[in-house]
A = this chain, B = another copy of it.
C-alpha cells in the first residue's frame, strides 16, 4: 500500500469520527450476522450458545462494501443525489443487509426486524439460517437490483440501470475477482453507449482488496501504471484511493467521491447544454484496501486480514474453541458497539443522521425496486400490422420483418422506456424498420458512410450477447421495458445469465414488497433451420430446454408459425410482467397461415386444430402436430400429400404456439387439462409431432399424457452444416416426405397404396438430395411449395 496518494483534507475530524463510527456500525452488524444467534449487543461475555452452529457468510469483501456505502451516504446527503448501489461482490450480503438496517429500510420492509436489541437479535439470527435470508445480496435485500452470486454482471447491470435515468448515479462496486470474468471485462466499454444527455451516470468503484477465494487477483497485481493505462484505455479517468489506516482512507475516499461526483455533474451539465459532442471520459474510483479489513489480523499464527484467508469466515471454530471465541468477542468489541447503539439497541441519533432520508436512502431508492416506477407501454394496435391472409399458406412474408414495423411504432411511442438490444444482428434479423424512427446508440466517432448511428438511439448493438442481456436486465429491473433479439444458437452464451435472472424473478415474486417488473423478452431468430449459410456452429435450438428447467411460474416459450401469430405473441409478451418470454420465429420468407383474427384466437388458445389443413372431421386416424415455422411448413406439405394420395386417411393437423400448453396442468400454469389434451391428441391414435428443437423436450412435456406411447417426435438431431434449407430438414428426418413415411409406418392397415406411397416418398428424398447436390439449391417445386400447389401440378 505504498501508492503516492496525497490526501486532500475534506472532512473535519468530527466528520471523520462520525463516518468511521457509521462504518464500524455496519461492520459490527455484518460480523454479528455471520456469527451470532443471540447476545447481539454483547451485554454479556460471548458464550457458545450465542454462536451459530454453522457459520455461513463472507467477511472478506464486506468492510470495503460498508466503507463505500457510508461515504456514498455522505455524498447523497450533501448533494441530494439520486444514487443506487450495485454490489458486484454480492457474497458480501451481510454488509448490504446491515446498511439497509442502519437506514431503517429493513425494519420498514420486514416489520418483524425492529430497531432495537430484539430486532438486532432477529437480524443476526436470520442471516444464512434455515428459514431466514440468503448469505448473498439477493432479491430479498432492499436496495438491490443485483444478486452477486454469479460474478461478472455488476457493471453491465449498472449501465442498464443508468440508461434513460438522467438523474440517477449508479455506484457500482466491481470486485477484483469479478473483474477477471469475461462479461465484466467487456462491460467497461459500456461507456461508449451511455449518453450524458438522456442517461444517468455510472460510477465504477474497482475494489482491489487483492484476493479471491484462494488466489491473488490479476488486476491487483498489475503494476499501478499498467492498471491505470488499462482503465484509461477503457475510457475512464481513475481516481485512486489506497491505504489501511482508516482516518486517512476516509479523507481520501471523501475527496475522491467529491471529485467524481463533481466530474459527473460537469460532464452532464456541459453535454446537456450542448457544449460537448464528444464521448466524455467518465471518472471512476480505484480503491485499494485490505481484504477483511478490521477483522482478525491473524488466526492461529497465520495472517488473515489482507489475505484470501479472510474471504469467508475468518474464525471458524468459535463455537467450540474458546480462544477463537475470545478473539471473536475482541473483534466485535473493537467496533465499540456501546458507542454506536443505545441501551435499547437503537442506532444513536447522530449516526442515524448520517444516512439519507426517505427514497434517497440507497436501500429505499425506488429505482432498485423498479416495478414501483414501471409505466405500461403505450402500444399501438398490433392488428394494424397484420399481413393479409385470404387463403392460408399461399403467400410468403418475413415474419420478423413484419414484427419490425410493429416494434418501430412501439419505440416511437415509448422513447423514454423501451430499448431493443441485439448483438450486431438487428438488421440481419430483419427488424430494420425500427431505423425508420430511431437509430443505434453510438457515442464514438461517426463517419459519413455510417448509417443509423446516433447518441440517443433506442437500439443497442454490440457484439456481445453478455452486454445485450445484462443491459436489458438492468434496464428492466429499474422499471423499463425491452426486447433482446438474438441468433438462436448464440443465446446459449447467456444461459447462465438467464438462469440467474429467472431465479431472481422466482424469488422476487414471493416478496410482496417487490413490485412486478416487465418481462425479459427474447426474440430468437436466424434459427437452427435457417442457418444453412453459416452451418453447424450456428445451429442449436437448445435454449428452450434450459428455459424449461426453470420454475414454471416464470417461463414462457412461444413458437409462432407465421407473421400474424408473431405479432399477436409479441404484443402479449410486451404487456406481461415478471416472466421470461422466449419467442422463436423465422426471418426468412415463409408462408402465412392465419389471418389476424384467427391468429389471435390461435395464440390465445396456445394450440389448436387447423381444420383447413385436416381431412379428419371427427376422430382422426392420425394426428400431425407441429411447433415452429419450419416444422409447420413441412407438416402442412405432408398433410397435403396425404390428402391427395391417401384421401381416405383422416388426418388432423394441430399447431402448437405455446409449448407449455403440452405440460400437464399441475406442472405449469399454461398446462392443458388432460381431458382437453386427450380431445386434441386422441387417447390412442398415432401422433407425428414435428418440433423445432430437440425432440426430447416434447417427450418430457408430455410423458404423463394418456397418449404418450403413440407420440412420435421429429426434431433437430444435431445434424447440420452449410447447405440448403430443405437439405437441413432432410438431414434431420423432419422433411415432408419423411413425415409421410412416419405416418405410414405408424397407422395400421393402410394397405398397398400406402406401401407404394412410402417408397415414392423415400425416392423423393433421394431425388431432392440429388437435386440439391447437383444444383446447389433446393428443387424449386419443393422450395416454392404452397398449400394446394400439389393438386395444381
Point out the residues of chain B lying under 8 angstroms from A490, CB to CB. 150, 496
| Contact across chains for B134 and A445 when beta carbons are under 8 A apart | no
A222-B703 contact in complex given A233-B230, A462-B180, C-beta closer than 8 Å: no
- A536 CA to B500 CA in the complex, in Å? 9
CB atoms of A535 and B727 under 8 A apart: no
Interface residues of A in 537-594 (CB under 8 A from B): 537-538, 540, 542, 545-546, 548-551
A219 — nearest CB in chain B belongs to which residue? B189
B718 touches A550 (CB 8 A): yes
Total contacting residues, chain A, CB less than 8 A: 120
Given the complex, which residues of B lie within 8 Å of A493, measured CB to CB? Answer: 150, 152, 495-496
Count chain B CB atoms within 10 A of each CB in A130, A181, A500, A721 and give the residue with the most: A130
Does A177 interact with chain B (Cβ within 8 Å)? yes
Quick one: closest B residue to A708, CB to CB? B703
Q: Are B499 and A492 in contact (CB under 8 A)?
A: yes
A405-462 contacts to B, CB under 8 A, are 424-428, 440, 442, 444-445, 447, 449-450, 453, 461-462
Knowing A226-B233, A233-B229, say if A180 contacts B703 (CB, 8 Å): no
A722-747 residues at the B interface, CB under 8 angstroms: 722-724, 727
Interface secondary structure of A, over-half rule: loop
B-contact bits for A51-66, CB 8 A (1 contact / 0 none): 0111010000000000
| Cβ–Cβ < 8 Å partners of A776 in chain B | 37, 52-54, 129-130
Smallest CB-CB separation from A440: which chain B residue? B215
Identical chains in the assembly: 2
Inter-chain contact A536/B503, CB cutoff 8 Å: yes
Known: A181-B186, A723-B130. A214 touches B424 (CB 8 A): yes
| B699 lies within 8 A of A703 (CB) | yes
Contact with B along A682-717 (1 / 0, CB 8 A): 000000000000101001100100001000000000
Q: Name the contact of A534 in the complex, choosing from B149, B507, B542 (C-beta under 8 A).
A: B149
Instruction: Kindly state the separation between the CA atoms of A232 and B222 in the bound complex, as whole angstroms.
Output: 11
Q: Are B424 and A215 in contact (CB under 8 A)?
A: yes
CB distance from A427 to the nearest CB of B (A): 4
- Is A150 a contact of B489 with CB atoms below 8 Å? yes
Partner of A218, one of B150, B189, B696: B189
Determine whether A307 belongs to the interface, using a CB cutoff of 8 Å to chain B.
yes
Give the shortest distance, in Å, between A578 (CB) and chain B (any CB).
Answer: 15
The interface residues of chain B lying within 8 Å CB-to-CB of A467 are 180, 182
Instruction: Report whether A503 and B550 are in contact in the complex, using a CB–CB cutoff of 8 Å.
Output: no
**Contact code string A121-135 (vs B, CB < 8 Å = 1, else 0):** 000000011111111
Residue pair B537, A500 in contact (C-beta under 8 Å)? yes
The listed residue (B182, B546, B549, B550) touching A181 by CB distance below 8 A is: B182
A230, B534: Cα distance in complex, Å: 32
Given A700-B696, A776-B53, the answer on whether A189 and B180 have CB atoms closer than 8 Å is: yes
From B183, B217, B461, B503, A537 is in contact (CB under 8 Å) with B503
Asked if A535 and B718 make an inter-chain contact with CB atoms under 8 angstroms apart, the answer reads: no
Given contacts A53-B776, A214-B424, A703-B703, whether A134 and B444 have CB atoms under 8 Å apart is: no
Contact of A213 among B56, B234, B427, B540 (CB under 8 A): B427
Q: Is A276 an interface residue (CB 8 A)?
A: no
Tell whether, in the assembled complex, residue A216 and residue B150 are in contact, meaning their CB atoms are under 8 Å apart.
no
User: 20 interchain pairs (CB within 8 A)?
Assistant: A54-B724, A54-B777, A128-B533, A130-B723, A180-B462, A180-B463, A182-B186, A184-B186, A186-B186, A215-B440, A215-B442, A218-B444, A226-B233, A489-B499, A499-B540, A503-B536, A506-B718, A542-B549, A545-B546, A549-B694
A interface vs B, CB < 8 Å?
Answer: 37, 52-54, 56, 91, 128-136, 138, 147, 149-152, 177-178, 180-189, 192, 212-218, 221-222, 226-235, 303, 306-307, 424-428, 440, 442, 444-445, 447, 449-450, 453, 461-467, 489-490, 492-493, 495-496, 499-500, 503, 506-507, 532-538, 540, 542, 545-546, 548-551, 694, 696, 699-700, 703, 708, 718, 721-724, 727, 769, 772-773, 775-777
Contacts beyond the supplied A221-B444, A703-B703: 6 A-B pairs with Cβ under 8 Å: A131-B773, A152-B493, A185-B185, A185-B189, A215-B440, A540-B549
